[in-house]
Each structure stands twice: as C-alpha cells, then as structure tokens.
C-alpha cells in the first residue's frame, strides 16, 4: 500500500486559487455600472451564448470564466428566485439573498471539490423608489473561492478587473445617463483587450435593469440601440 504524500492545506488552497484565477483571467471582462435610470451590465461577447441574464423582476446576473459553469449557476439562480417569489412574494426576491447563496455554493465547491469553479459573478439589483427599504441599487461580486463583496457605482469582473477598477474610479460620475455609462463601460472593456483595442458594438452584450419599467425591469439592448447609445 502506497502512502499519499502530505500536502499542507495552505498549499492545496493556493494551488486551487491559482488554477481558478488562471481560468477566470482567460475570458473577457464584464462591467456593471449604475446610471440615473438603473443599472447597466456589459460584456464583450463574440458568441451568441449569453453572459448576462435576467434572474427576476429587479435582479440580473453577469458571469465570466468558464461558460458551462457560470451558466449553470445562472440557471440555479433563476430556479431559486422563481421558487422564492412563488413561495413568498415577488418583492421578497433580493440580490443579497441570491449573492449569499452563490457565495455558499461556490465556496463549498472551492473547499470540497478537487477542481474549483473557474467563475466570477455579479448579481445586480435595481432599486424601486416606491418600495420602502428597496430604494437603493445593489451590486454584489462573488469570486471563485466564494468571497463576496458589495460595490457602489460600478464593478468589474474578469481577468483585467484590478486595472479596470482603477480606471473606472477616476472616470465614473454619479449623474451618468445610460449613454454616459455605456460609453465608459465600452472604454473600460476596450482597455481590457490587449493588442486590439477596438470592441465593435455587435460584439457588445448590453443588458439594462431600468427602474422606470413596470414589473420585469430587465431588458437586452439590440445592437442598433447599443450603436445609437455609444454614438451619444
């Protein structure tokens, strides 16, 4: 009988983290920004597979990393939200509860599975001024080890996140219109691309949580609308 080699827990975690970080940074970045009328989620996307999705009336999802893994998490989120909204009320479905559930699930996978999930997520919620206690927007970021953080104004996930974070900090303004937010998001995504600093509108996936809409506030912008907004 062979004895397994002893590997310290620190080493195991460090190896897993490095593996997951590499996986995440291979993909494109995704940026989420607050604007006057709600929250806009943007990603560079060369395929027809969606990186941004609707979770519930006021809640949206964006993922980077390995598509099959974050898309599975997106579906789990939709199931969680729809069941919760059915069992309680539609207003009880909040981004914080969902982000916590993601954090638990991704954290469990990180410690218990041999292969960690190579994903990073954003869960965003648009505030509703007519609903006491729900007025503010919320943006949560969950990383591959299950760490969760909340963000104001903007949030970036993906390989170039640290660099883009600094860029957005210096450029972001509170009173942005949708067009302003999208142009800044577009510039940020172009910064993330090495070697080819152009991201064409048809390669941008843009979804908006629009506060003024009734009921389901999530909608996906067509390429034409994206082009118009970016032109200003």
Partner 1 sequence: MRFGGTYDGSSFFELLSSDYAGLRPDFSGLSESFDPAKLPHGTTVLAFKYRDGVLVAGDRLATEGHRVASRDIEKVFPTDSHSLMAIAGAAGPAIEMARIMRIELEHYEKIEGEPLELDGKANKLSQMVRANLPAAMQGLVVVPLFAGYDTRRSQGRLWKFDVTGGRYEETDYESTGSGGLYASESLKKSQSNDMSRGESLHSAVQALTDASDEDRATGGVDLRRGIYPIVCFCTDAGIDRVSDADVASVYRSVVGGGS
Regarding 86 and contact with partner 1 (CB under 8 A), the answer is yes
Regarding 79 and contact with partner 1 (CB under 8 A), the answer is yes
Regarding 210 and contact with partner 1 (CB under 8 A), the answer is no
Binding piece for partner 1, criterion CB under 8 A, among 38-46, 49-57, 122-130, 134-142: 49-57
By CB under 8 A, name the one of 190, 216, 222, 224 that touches partner 1.
216
By CB under 8 A, name the one of 1, 3, 7, 87 that touches partner 1.
87
Regarding 43 and contact with partner 1 (CB under 8 A), the answer is no
Tokens of 32: 């989420």
What strand order describes the sheet that includes 148-151? 52-56, 59-65, 119-125, 138-142, 148-151
Q: Which is nearer to partner 1, 38 or 107 (CB)?
A: 107
CA dist 20 and 145 (Å) reads 8
CA dist 201 and 180 (Å) reads 15
Regarding 54 and contact with partner 1 (CB under 8 A), the answer is yes
What strand order describes the sheet that includes 218-220? 154-157, 30-35, 38-44, 204-210, 218-220
Listed in sequence order, the residues at least 6 apart from 150 whose beta carbon sits closer than 8 Å to its beta carbon are 99, 138, 139, 140, 141
Tokens 């006491």 correspond to 132
Regarding 213 and contact with partner 1 (CB under 8 A), the answer is no
CB environment 65-76: b (16+ within 10 A), e (fewer): bbeebbbebbee
Regarding 209 and contact with partner 1 (CB under 8 A), the answer is no
- Among 169, 78, 148, which residue's Cα sits nearest to residue 106? 148
Regarding 67 and contact with partner 1 (CB under 8 A), the answer is no
Regarding 50 and contact with partner 1 (CB under 8 A), the answer is yes
Binding piece for partner 1, criterion CB under 8 A, among 3-11, 100-108, 111-119, 166-174: 100-108
What residues line the site for partner 1 (CB under 8 A)? Answer: 50, 53-55, 75-76, 78-80, 82-87, 97, 101, 104-105, 216
């Amino acid at each position: 009988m062979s004895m397994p080699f002893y590997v310290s827990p620190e080493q195991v975690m460090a190896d897993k983290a490095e593996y997951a970080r590499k996986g995440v940074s291979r993909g494109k970045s995704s940026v989420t920004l607050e604007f006057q009328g709600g929250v806009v989620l943007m990603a560079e996307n060369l395929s027809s597979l969606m990186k941004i999705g609707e979770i519930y009336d006021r809640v949206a999802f964006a993922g980077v990393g390995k598509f099959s893994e974050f898309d599975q998490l997106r579906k789990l989120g939709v199931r969680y939200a729809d069941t919760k909204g059915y069992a309680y009320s539609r207003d009880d479905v909040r981004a914080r509860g969902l982000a916590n559930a993601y954090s638990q699930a991704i954290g469990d996978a990180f410690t218990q599975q041999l292969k960690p999930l190579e994903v990073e997520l954003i869960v965003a919620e648009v505030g509703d001024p007519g609903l006491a206690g729900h007025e503010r927007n919320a943006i949560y970021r969950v990383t591959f080890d299950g760490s969760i953080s909340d963000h104001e104004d903007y949030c970036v996930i993906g390989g170039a996140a640290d660099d883009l974070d600094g860029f957005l900090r210096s450029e972001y303004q509170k009173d942005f219109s949708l067009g302003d937010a999208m142009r800044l998001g577009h510039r940020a995504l172009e910064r993330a691309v090495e070697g080819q600093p152009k991201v064409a509108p048809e390669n941008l996936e843009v979804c908006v949580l629009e506060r003024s809409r009734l009921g389901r506030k999530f909608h996906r912008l067509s390429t034409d609308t994206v082009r118009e907004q970016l032109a200003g």
